[in-house]
Amino acid sequence: MNRLLLLIFIVVIVLIGALALPASARGQNNDITVAVDGLPVAFDVPPVIRDGRTLVPFRAIAEAINVNVTWDGTTRTVNATDGKTFIKLLIGNCTAYYNESSISLDVAPAILGGRTLVPLRFFSEAFGCTVLWESTIRSVKITSAPKTITVTGFYALGDARTSSWTDLFGGVYPETGTGNTDMVSVVALGWYSLSQEGILLTSSGTGWQRPPGWEKVLESAEGYGLKTEMVIHLTDSDNFITCLLSDESATTTAVDEIVKEAGAYQSVNLDFEGLGLSAAGEDLSAVRYRFTDFVRLLSTRLKSAGKTLTLTLHAPNSAYKGYDYRALGELSDRIIIMAYDYGPKPEPVNLVTEAVAMAKAVIPPEKLMLGISAPSETPESMFTKVGIAKRYNLDGIALWRLGLVSQEMWDVLRTAVVARN
């Protein structure tokens, strides 16, 4: 009996203590989750709900939507800007400032756990985001404002059912219309390969070939203000690329032929795949050196001709280690990270994010593009992949390939980005 009375006494004390706490302290709201463009936002202090409004640490949410923030400890003020919009929030004050105009807040910013928390909806919507609160799962889903980026579309390997022409121009060849040209900046034309001697080929055993009437593609792309780049595709099957790059005469011929053909395009795109799969030690170093040296020779010649160079590379966390990202980033104008073919579909967000972070660690983000393989994604997962490119401030995305991008995917892209002209 005494034990029962003691147990009842303890329960009563606990309940009284809990009721004495303010609502925000009783439910620490640890279960509130926040995602921007489908990507979770990590907070060192959990979000809380006050007066029906969600408050979050300002630095984490600002970084997620690419907003610059500063904290003035003297005036206890948060200042935030994306270059076009400026807001100011004061701790404990329900008046905020949006481009110098005062705005009344439902709840004031606060300091909790040594961190400054701001009203999530006001902060996000001030910078063009849309905010959705799902009360049943206590989740906030934010869609960032459409961002102007470069969108490259690979034009290759099409057929009557998956025509790159139809996907891009909206009609059956040779008919043209706006189609999806408004969502593409650069057309990467997969029409070229190389022989073992370095001769430029317009057909190959892997199916990459220049189609009849190819001039019409260039003409139509120009008519819609799209840039074009010639893609040279090779694989290191049977050490084909390794042998080619080991032959000084072949590499010299290849550079000469590529530069000559590049006159019809704005850029060259090297898509040399499969390097470094089985090599290790000095052999791997040699593979990396030869490819880098070839890129150096080609880059120098292209710059003299007023052309740019794009490299389409396996992701740095892939099995293919034959690419010196740091050196190649210095030599090229743009690098497309092929962050796909990891195995599962859609491509794992953690691995794609890791690939981007690794590349960004050695190459400025304005030189990087995230490659997205349409067959590996759904419209929803493509939205998240685009969100990765936006969060890491990359130059843009590259779509593999035109003809395989569904209308639902194009619709998603239109909500997320604006194609840079």
Rounded CA gap, 65 and 198, in Å? 46
Q: What is the pLDDT of residues 52-95, one digit of tens each?
A: 999 999 999 999 999 999 999 999 999 999 999 999 999 999 99
Rounded CA gap, 202 and 190, in Å? 9
Q: Which two tokens stand for residue 193?
A: 């390969």
- pTM, rounded to two decimals: 0.91
Rounded CA gap, 157 and 210, in Å? 10
Rounded CA gap, 104 and 88, in Å? 12
Q: What is the pLDDT of residues 354-405, one digit of tens each?
A: 999 999 999 999 999 999 999 999 999 999 999 999 999 999 999 999 999 9
One-letter amino acid identity for 391? Answer: R
Largest Cα–Cα separation, the chain: 97
Superfamily the domain 147-419 falls into: Glycosidases (3.20.20.80)
The answer to whether the bond into 346 is cis (omega within 30° of 0) is yes
Number of Cβ within 10 Å of residue 85's Cβ equals 14
Q: Give the single-character DSSP code of 209.
A: B
Rounded CA gap, 104 and 102, in Å? 7
Number of Cβ within 10 Å of residue 49's Cβ equals 17
Residue 16 binned pLDDT confidence (cut-offs 50, 70, 90): very low
Tell me the domain boundaries of the chain: 24-143, 147-419
Q: Which two tokens stand for residue 382?
A: 């493509």
Classified as helix, coil or strand, 324 is: coil
Q: Which two tokens stand for residue 300?
A: 């120098």
Q: State residue 27's pLDDT score.
A: 39
* Sheet containing 101-104: order of strands: 68-72, 77-81, 86-90, 95-98, 101-104
Residue 30 binned pLDDT confidence (cut-offs 50, 70, 90): low
Number of H helices, E strands in the chain: 13, 23
- 394 with 149: CB under 8 angstroms? yes
- Angular region, 91: left φ>0, alpha ψ -120 to 50, beta rest: beta
Say yes or no to pLDDT of 3 above 90.
Answer: no
Domain 24-143: give its CATH code: 3.30.457.10
CA 58, 62, 63, 65 torsion-angle sign: positive
Q: What are phi and psi of 404, to 5 degrees?
A: -115, 0
Q: Which two tokens stand for residue 386?
A: 């685009």
Parallel/antiparallel/unpaired status of strands 227-235 and 186-194:
parallel
Q: What is the pLDDT of residues 164-197, one digit of tens each?
A: 999 999 999 999 999 999 999 999 999 999 999 9
As a whole number, mean pLDDT of residues 97-117 equals: 96
Closest CA to 335 of 405, 271, 250: 271
Rounded CA gap, 84 and 64, in Å? 17
Q: Which two tokens stand for residue 22?
A: 């303010």
CA 116, 121, 122, 123 torsion-angle sign: positive
Direct distance between the N- and C-terminal alpha carbons of the chain, in angstroms, rounded to an integer? 81
Rounded CA gap, 153 and 296, in Å? 25
Write the CA distances from 185 to 47, 226, 371, integer angstroms. Answer: 39, 5, 14
User: What is the separation of C-alpha 105 from the centre of its chain, rounded to a whole number of angstroms?
Assistant: 33
Rounded CA gap, 384 and 399, in Å? 14
- Angular region, 225: left φ>0, alpha ψ -120 to 50, beta rest: left
Say yes or no to pLDDT of 11 above 70.
Answer: no
